């Protein structure tokens, strides 16, 4: 078998240019041409993983099936490619250093001085190659986080330089930059791109392909100029113009022939043109909705939509599946109060309560669950959102006035949500929650069963607290039913109110496994229940 090819995607000029989307789009096109592809993200920060990061810092923490807390770009990779990523798809500087320091403590370096080059760069290279060798991928795309020129990125760029030198034509570098438009001058400017490529060259890396983000179409002359100054063939200077949805980017990159150019440069057969039919069908439905619905997403990080990335994308997929345009209103839970909750939530066709941690905004979320239950408004609660629905039901239906989760109130007389037994001795924060995929048995005849159409499901988790089974019978009798249970432990995974139009709370995170061409059934059914046809 031919050896694995490695494509690196670096970024210059500014952050937020969409390296993750370009990487995922290229991967999609190569996959559609018949190649086995995966993507990896290297993050230059010192946290071991983003699990301990506040969402305001770094957006959502994405959880893989194998229980790794990772960068949100992995969500894009899974949604675009319909693949399952793992711990090895996301490596941080913290993890690299931790591995090297652990080796040093074990004495593996035999008395040598441990240095950035070669020890840190060797570890980076090992993590990159590990992914290729493990599952015999044809192509591994590695996205290097941050911007060229950052101190933090230097060891990664150096590792890339070494890999190019070691593997020659099996390695290819794509550099993504910005060509800004200066309104006053009426011109597109290429200088930032030239400088950014110069910086890469100073570090010994010549990019093979340049992808230029732009708000206006690039002329031939501009491409020619960039090619000349940056040592790149003119056909390898690719335009990436702003589009309405990230899901158009693969088609745009196909038009620009990014995939063909990359394959030729790697010496791989171009094969047949990707059909991408299901993808196009998704876009067609997305752009031509027949229905409209308004859904309120209640959370406490609404100032930063990245904090709810996977949920927002799941609605895009489920909206298209229902041929429905979704007006998703992000509602700050701290603004929902006893005095105003009815007016704050009025006019919504559905309410979803987001996952979360800690006390801030919790009473607003509980009020939102009450409003949805009392007014027969379709409701989906995810993780903390499900826990809020349970607390609300306990307080207002079971008349357990001070019911709460012991996360928020340690001395509540009714801890209807309580710390899991296995969590009781845990003191360390990083990577210690109940994480990743666990089985759930779904009861027949329920909304969940109607969605999944099967008995046994596996969904991803990220929590320390659970439904307190001491109250199981009280809830069941009063009309909130446990409709999904973990078969080994009896942990309540799904609750429903059968009397209600559509009221579902899930302890797991369906948003992590919704894909463009496989929208998540829970989101699809939830959206469906909100549409007035």
Catalytically active residues are 383, 509, 511
CB closer to ligand GLN out of 28 and 462: 462
Stretch that binds ligand GLN, among 122-130, 135-143, 220-228, 351-359 (CB under 6 A): 351-359
End-to-end CA distance of the chain: 54
Q: Whole-angstrom Cα distance, residue 37 to residue 492?
A: 37
CB of 414 to ligand GLN, least distance (A): 17
> Of 143, 158, 407, 511, which one interacts with ligand GLN (CB under 6 A)?
407
Cβ closest to ligand GLN, residue 27 vs residue 331: 331
- The least CB distance from residue 334 to ligand GLN, in Å, is 17
What the block records as the tokens of 237 is 């200077």
Q: Does 383 bind ligand GLN (CB under 6 A)?
A: yes
Helix (H) or strand (E) holding 294: strand 291-299
- Cβ 215 to ligand GLN, closest distance in Å? 37
**Whose Cβ is closer to ligand GLN: residue 58's or residue 501's?**
58
By CB under 6 A, residue 357 contacts ligand GLN? yes
The reply to whether 17 sits near ligand GLN by the rule CB under 6 A is: no
Question: Residues 452 to 491: which contact ligand GLN by CB under 6 A?
Answer: 462-465
Which tokens in the block code for residue 531? 């549409």
Determine phi and psi for 139, rounding to 5 degrees. -135, 130
Q: Which of 29, 73, 509 is nearest to 257 (CA)?
A: 29
- Order of strands across the sheet with 171-178? 90-92, 37-43, 139-144, 5-11, 171-178, 209-214, 237-241
| CA distances to 65, 220, 244, 287, 394 from 478, in Å | 35, 70, 47, 43, 10
State the Cα–Cα distance between residues 329 and 4, nearest whole angstrom.
44
Residue 404 sits in the site that holds ligand GLN (CB under 6 A): no
Q: Which residue reads 């069963």 in tokens?
A: 449
Of 356, 361, 378, 437, the one binding ligand GLN (CB under 6 A) is: 356
Residue among 362, 346, 247 nearest 299 (CA): 362
Considering only the stretches 219-227, 228-236, 267-275, 350-358, report the one whose residues sit in contact with ligand GLN under the rule CB under 6 A.
350-358
Which of 128, 384 has the CB closer to ligand GLN?
384
Contacts of 476 (CB under 8 A, 6+ apart): 482
| Strands 37-43 vs 90-92: parallel, antiparallel or unpaired | parallel
Which residue's CB is nearer to ligand GLN, number 35 or number 308?
308
| CA distance linking residue 425 with residue 279, whole number of Å | 47
Please state the φ and ψ torsions of residue 336, each to the nearest 5 degrees. -95, 115
Minimum CB separation from ligand GLN for residue 434, in Å? 8
Nearer to ligand GLN, 348 or 384 (CB): 384
Least separation in angstroms between residue 101's CB and ligand GLN is 30
Site for ligand GLN in 288-307 (CB under 6 A): none
Round to whole Å and give the CA distance between 300 and 269: 49
Residue 416 in contact with ligand GLN, rule: CB under 6 A: no
Q: Give the residue among 184, 260, 229, 243 at the shortest CA–CA distance from 18.
A: 243
Q: How many CB atoms lie within 10 A of CB 358?
A: 10
8 Å CB contact between 348 and 501: no
For the chain, the maximum distance between any two Cα atoms, rounded to a whole number of angstroms, is 75
Out of 50, 355, 378, 519, point to the residue binding ligand GLN (CB under 6 A). Answer: 355
State in angstroms the smallest separation of the CB of 441 from ligand GLN.
21
Cis peptide before 118 (omega within 30 of 0): yes
Q: Which is nearer to ligand GLN, 373 or 463 (CB)?
A: 463
CB of 361 to ligand GLN, least distance (A): 12
Rounded to 10 degrees, what is the CA torsion of 462, 437, 474, 357?
Answer: 10
Provide, rounded to whole angstroms, the least separation between the CB of residue 383 and ligand GLN: 3
Q: Confirm or reject binding of residue 309 to ligand GLN (CB under 6 A).
A: no
Binding interface with ligand GLN (CB under 6 A)? 355-357, 383-384, 407, 462-465
């Amino acid at each position: 078998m031919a050896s694995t090819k490695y494509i690196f995607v670096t970024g210059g000029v500014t952050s937020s240019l969409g390296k993750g989307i370009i990487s995922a789009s290229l991967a999609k096109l190569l996959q559609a041409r018949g190649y086995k592809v995966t993507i990896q993200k290297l993050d230059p920060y010192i946290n071991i993983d983003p699990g301990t990061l506040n969402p305001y810092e770094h957006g959502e923490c994405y959880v893989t099936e194998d229980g790794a807390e990772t960068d949100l770009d992995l969500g894009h990779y899974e949604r675009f490619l319909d693949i399952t990523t793992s711990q090895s798809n996301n490596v941080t500087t913290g993890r690299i250093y931790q591995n090297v320091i652990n080796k040093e403590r074990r004495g593996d370096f035999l008395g040598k001085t441990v240095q950035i080059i070669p020890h840190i760069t060797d570890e980076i290279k090992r993590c990159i190659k590990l992914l290729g060798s493990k599952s015999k991928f044809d192509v591994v795309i590695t996205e290097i986080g941050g911007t060229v020129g950052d101190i933090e990125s230097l060891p990664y760029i150096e590792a890339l330089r070494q890999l190019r030198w070691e593997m020659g034509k099996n390695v290819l570098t794509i550099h993504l930059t910005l060509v800004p438009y200066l309104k006053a001058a009426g011109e597109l400017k290429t200088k930032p791109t030239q400088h950014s490529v110069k910086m890469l060259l100073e570090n010994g890396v010549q990019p093979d392909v340049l992808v230029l983000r732009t708000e206006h179409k690039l002329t031939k002359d501009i491409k020619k100029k960039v090619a000349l100054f940056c040592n790149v063939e003119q056909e390898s200077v690719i335009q990436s113009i702003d589009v309405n949805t990230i899901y158009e980017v693969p088609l745009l990159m196909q038009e620009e022939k990014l995939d063909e150019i990359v394959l030729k440069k790697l010496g791989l057969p171009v094969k047949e043109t990707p059909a991408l039919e299901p993808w196009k069908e998704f876009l067609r439905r997305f752009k031509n909705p027949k229905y409209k619905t308004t859904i309120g997403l209640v959370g406490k990080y609404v100032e930063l939509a990245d904090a709810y990335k996977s949920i927002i994308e799941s609605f895009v997929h489920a909206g298209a599946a229902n041929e429905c345009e979704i007006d998703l209103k992000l509602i700050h839970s701290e603004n929902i109060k006893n005095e105003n909750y009815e007016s704050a939530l009025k006019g919504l066709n559905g309410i979803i309560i987001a996952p979360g941690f800690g006390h801030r905004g919790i009473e607003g979320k509980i009020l939102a669950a009450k409003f949805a239950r009392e007014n027969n408004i379709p409701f989906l609660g995810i993780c903390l959102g499900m826990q809020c629905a349970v607390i609300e039901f306990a307080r207002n239906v079971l008349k357990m006035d001070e019911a709460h989760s012991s996360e928020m109130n340690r001395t509540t007389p009714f801890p209807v949500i309580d710390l899991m037994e296995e969590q009781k001795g845990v003191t360390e924060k990083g990577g210690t929650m109940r994480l990743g995929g666990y089985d759930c048995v779904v009861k027949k005849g329920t909304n969940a069963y109607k969605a999944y159409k099967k008995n046994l499901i596996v969904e991803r988790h990220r929590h320390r607290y659970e439904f307190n089974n001491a109250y199981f019978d009280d809830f069941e009798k009063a009309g909130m039913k446990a409709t999904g249970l973990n078969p080994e432990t009896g942990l309540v995974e799904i609750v429903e109110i059968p009397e209600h139009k559509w009221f579902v709370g899930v302890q797991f995170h369906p948003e992590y496994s919704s894909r463009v061409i496989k929208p998540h059934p829970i989101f699809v059914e939830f959206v469906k229940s909100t549409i007035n046809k």
